[in-house]
Chain A
Amino acid sequence: MALLAIAVLLGASPAAALDGTEILKKVDANLQPESFESYRKLIDVQPSGARREYLLWTLKKGDDRIASLFLEPASEKGRATLRLGDNMWLYIPGVGKPIRITSLQSVTGSVFNNADIMRLDYHVEYDVRTVEEQGGAYFLDLRAKTTTVAYDHLKMWVDRKTVLPTRIECYAATGLLIKTLYFKEPKPFDDGRLRPAILETDSPLYKGYRSYMVYARIKKRVVPDEVFTLDFLPRLETMR
């Protein structure tokens, strides 16, 4: 009888009704369409207040294809990055073939690394280990599906009304907090959906430094798969 009562109680509890994977997929859908183009500004702010800004144009298709082109500043203009699943490359005009780069380094030198700049949907790279309600938020504990993912685990707080993340803590396998991401300023984009316009990050590893990723445009767009190839990278600008 007691066991039955416990079972009924568990079945009726809100936590049991939560499907973490579904919430995570909704988070992904609310953050960005499955296939899109976007313009972003990366802003790095030093402790002194000095800033450095980069303007990027990005194409994403499906689960695992992302290509980005640097439009500003002049010193970075024409640089392009490509991600196909776990593979990442950087193309520097005039230098040579695109070189393979790693997810933890940063092509800009900012707190954002390559995995942040060329981020795949969270549900593609992470499994939900636990999910719970914390006031007006869902709390998701996420584990990387493979060792090739940049962060070993994430702690994600999701606003229950908008199903948008408000904060994500990114950890290394050792338990070290690498950085915290803050999602801010929800804004209606071209498809009418409300999405955070600003992604802010700080890191205990870079005390006093802050970086912002500001989304100015996100538009659904589906381009051929061939755009996301190494040989196409030098021609990426022709797709703008």
Chain B
Amino acid sequence: MRVAPGAAAALLLWALLVPAGAIRAQGTDEIRLEDIEKEIARTVERPYRLGGFLEFQPTLFGFDRDAAFYRLQFFDEDEGATAAQYDLRLRLEGSYRKGIFSLFARADALTTQGDLDSESRIDLLEGFGSLKPIPGLALDVGKKVVKWGKGYAWNPVAFVDRPKNPEDPELALEGFYLLVAEAIRSFDGPLKTAAFTAVALPVDRDVNEEFGETDHLNVAAKLYALLFDTDLDVMVFTGGSRTTRFGVDFARNILTNFEVHGEWALITDFEQAPINERGQAKRRVADVMSYLVGIRYLTERETTFIVEYYHNGTGFTGGQMEDFFRFVEAGDATFRSTGNPTGIRRAITLAEGAYGRPNPMRSYLYARASQKEPFDILYFTPALTTIVNVEDQSFVVIPELTYSPVTNLELRFRAAALVGERRAEYGEKQNDYRLELRVRYYF
């Protein structure tokens, strides 16, 4: 390396004036440049990365023993008023790079012990290889989450992803086995970026079988543009495992502290078979629309508000859901009076499908307020979240406290109260309330 004479003189001056080791900045805080250099050198030299977290989560469930989903879950037994569950999870993430190739994997080892269930399992959430010949071109093969959409709690345009849990949307998702090709171009002017993503998603009896109808090769594509400081996406999915669908989304900061976003999806030939109160299904095929509009707003006092409205075109109406609950009641009553489980078993099967989805109806409101470090308590964030079923007025309220007392240790306490009338979504959920503590240590 060639060094200019002026720089060499400066270097000499630096060496003379600054003792090797610590620099004392204002106050008494010691900053060791040498140590920082060593730490950086360690990270630069490694072509691999390994990390993750160990998590312990005890949860207490308070049951609503009159609720439809409680009866579906425990129709031939009584589990009492509460149940405890203890989850121990080890998350491992690793990557390796060599030239234009790289590998990435994320996996969970989970052990659950509790009053209701005991199981241990290992899940590969993601595991894929990447080829990146130039920064503007990439090819990924393997199990991957592609993360389409701008919504925080819901993503109606995420055509090739599993749905998020709207009560905890930041949980890592499990991917599908995919082939993903991506091309990116940057420009000067109002169009700053354009990117094209193509996805191939095979479904057969052994691969991605939970995605939809087997023995199909599905394809999806997305065109992204950053145009006039607005994120815009247009996407399409077709194949045979699910019906053809089209989507658009957008996100934009209209002020430095105010963001708006939205998604719109058209799902063609969507088939639904709602039942009446006697359990008779009426098949219906139609093009349906799902959409979402939302905002994220940060106040001067560092309170963040996220509000989203979600219309789920694939969901059931209030009347259809009430019919389902009546059918559960009838099946349960028959079982109790005659011992015949036919009706309740059919209801259980239905609940494993569309009726048992996290948000099976049409119209939802999500609101979350979180306050960064109130009362000068550093690394402490309380939050309050609610999801309201606009149609039947039932809702869940989730107060939450997150605190990180030391680096890499995170504690989160959450409660969830589910409120609603009989034959309303949250009124018929299995639980009245839920208390959980999550202790997570990152390494």
Contacts and interface: CB of A to CB of B under 8 A. Distances in A.
A194 B4 CA distance: 11
Contact of B26 (A99, A147, A200): A200
B408 A73 contact: yes
Contact of B184 (A52, A93, A148, A231): A231
B74 interface: no
Nearest to B297: A102
A185 B23 contact: yes
Nearest to A75: B442
Nearest to A239: B135
A102 B256 contact: yes
Interface in B312-342: none
Given A52-B407, A94-B106, A210-B29, A238 B132 contact: yes
A143 to B, nearest CB: 16
A173 B164 CA distance: 40
A72 B195 CA distance: 30
Q: Which of B102, B172, B252, B407 has the most CB of A within 10 A?
A: B407
B103 to A, nearest CB: 12
Given A184-B25, A225-B186, A102 B7 contact: no
B195 A187 contact: no
Contact of B135 (A197, A209, A223): A223
B259 interface: yes
Nearest to A217: B40
Contact of A84 (B169, B192, B442): B192
B170 interface: yes
A177 interface: no
Interface string A203-240: 00000011010101100000111111111100101111
Nearest to B253: A100
B29 A45 contact: yes
B27 to A, nearest CB: 6
B98 to A, nearest CB: 11
A205 B224 CA distance: 40
Contact of A109 (B8, B152, B379): B379
Contact of B442 (A73, A95, A147, A240): A73
A43 B3 CA distance: 30
B143 to A, nearest CB: 13
